[in-house]
A and B are shown apart, each in its own frame.
Chain A
């Protein structure tokens, strides 16, 4: 089938394409990209005047709960949620039951995702069972398709294991992704400060994150090998530590979530458990530092940390409720609203953080808008104003603090693997 994306503003940071074009796709392959005006013939023409197209977005930090908690999310519902959110690829974290720490579980996930529009790349645990004791079989895992290693949920338990993980994973050119939190300072329900004092919630200090970032960076520097990716960075000092490490030329990268550049600890005043996450929401100062880090490139990636939870688990006493929120379907809207429209990021930078950098970090091929390339595209609208409605989400879970929030900018369609998701349904192309 031939489809034509007509009159669309293309942004491809890799090829440098940045103009209004017509894109012809035949059986899932881009066959022609030409300046708009000429009329190519196609079976189906989509007039995307005023909309943007870029290489397909990739969220390198999601939790799909399969295997183990399929009541909260499955590989399929999570992938549907990703498609609806404007993503053509995701990397899913290993804190499943059992954990992704063997080729069997990697294969199970890949099997489930096989015919989907969205590419699902499993991230394996660093240690067996995420227990922080014995390394997971990284060679075998790499071979079966794990794209990175992480004990996400907690940091790699000891410096000794971290060292081994960085050394071992380096042989296969895979990053170690760190959830940075000092275990001995962890365990609170929110960021420590005047707000935690006022709310009487057990706090976790921001220095718990900074200390682990520092440990990891120093280890990376000492080893002179391996690559380190800091997940969901949330503190001002953490951003500065990464900035300095990058200046030294260390192979460290970082990601930030939309909630950490949008919300602050003040939001917890209602005791709504949808504001409970780890790392916790921090202060206005931290939010500003995250935005600054995104602007100057210290933070390479925007990722959701999409963490589905069942209503019965999330709708309960604050300190007992689990951490985390879903994010795939609000991520792009929040990024455009909070970062692009407020003048912090250009659209090209946004595309780099959504499409290019995550794949580079994971050593995955970056899709291009070029004739002869597989069509792996995200189409989005930067001006549409819409109200978030969690009841319409594709995700199986609804734990979002952004319900009813007004956003400007939203995904329009995604194309990948010979499929298109447009107007709420999947189409074969």
Chain B
């Protein structure tokens, strides 16, 4: 039942048994979240640092709640931007925090590979809460959990990830995790948002949103980074919505059984129309709840490992 690694750096190369264990363990915590007292004493005496070098209120709150519900002591260190070239280095900051006797670090950073780097400079358990455009494993795990909860399976399921795949850590973690669990993964988006060589991963590429909706059981719709995408990867948000946005008409025309996921926050009228965002096909708020359970499961499995 133990995981094979003391860190969760990403889902690339994580064995199926480990993913299974995390998803199953999350079921336990999902039940805890329904209780009047949503707290268990399991991680009493453990100290977790949330090291956020990139602002992300949701992910941080989700992790923080997960930690508190497991009775861990938590502290937050937030530093927006990459001002490490001046003043204290990242390594010194981490060494200082570690010297305060902490057990686990949850890290979010704009530079890919920072969680891996942390494993070399500290002894704490490291959980990746998103590194650059690399991985965001707990997001992919909660996506898989939500899919499994709704459809009852992952094996053989056809999942399409839609949006700016090239700049998305959510896409990459989903591809790795879903493929390991036996799902068939595709991506859909404008060619400028599809990273080079993605086909080598056994991922089919779609540029036709109607076809993508029609041919998949699940659509995981990514958030378009408004400030970054418009004008660089796509001509305009309006054009994106017209050609790649998910609307009720498109769903009703192509596939009424489709399940829609979105990691949030949603840009209404860009990647999802409002009626889809609030409509019957999506499980967006379930994802948020499941996110706490998944993070509790990961914290529990790593935090109680000997």
Contact = CB atoms under 8 A, between A and B. Distances in A.
Direct contact of A and B (CB under 8 A): yes
B197 A317 contact: no
Nearest to B194: A197
B89 A316 contact: yes
A189 B196 CA distance: 15
B84 A317 contact: yes
Contact of B111 (A193, A195, A320): A320
Chain B interface secondary structure, helix, strand, loop or mixed? mixed
Contacts of A349: none
B111 A319 contact: yes
B196 A194 contact: yes
Interface stretch (B132-140, B233-241, B252-260, B271-279): B132-140
A271 B195 contact: no
Interface stretch (A162-170, A198-206, A327-335, A419-427): A198-206
B22 interface: no
B111 A318 contact: yes
A196 B134 CA distance: 9
B57 interface: no
Contacts of B112: 189, 199-201, 271, 318-319
A203 B135 CA distance: 16
Contacts of B116: 270-271
Given A202-B132, A316-B90, A194 B113 contact: no
B109 interface: yes
A189 B110 CA distance: 13
Nearest to A312: B89
A201 B172 CA distance: 12
Contacts of B111: 317-320
A198 B12 contact: yes
Given A193-B196, A193-B197, A194-B196, A200 B90 contact: no
Contacts of B91: 312, 315-316
Nearest to A194: B197
Contact of A197 (B109, B113, B196): B196
A396 B134 CA distance: 34
Contacts of A312: 89, 91
A271 B200 CA distance: 21
Nearest to A317: B111
Nearest to A189: B112
Nearest to A200: B134
A201 B132 contact: yes
B110 A192 contact: no
A14 B228 CA distance: 57
Interface string A166-209: 00000000000000000000000100111111111111010000
B250 to A, nearest CB: 28
A138 to B, nearest CB: 33
Most buried by B among A189, A195, A198, A205: A198
A309 to B, nearest CB: 13
A312 B88 CA distance: 10
B114 interface: yes
Interface in A188-242: 189, 192-203, 205
Interface string B110-124: 111110110000000
Contact of A201 (B84, B85, B113, B200): B113
A200 B82 contact: no
Contacts of B114: 317-318
Contact of B134 (A194, A201, A315, A316): A201
Given A194-B196, A197-B198, 18 more contacts: A194-B200, A194-B201, A196-B196, A197-B172, A198-B172, A199-B134, A200-B133, A200-B172, A201-B112, A201-B133, A316-B84, A316-B90, A317-B82, A317-B90, A317-B111, A318-B113, A319-B111, A319-B113
- 4 shortest A-B CB distances, which residue pairs? A200-B134, A271-B113, A194-B197, A317-B111
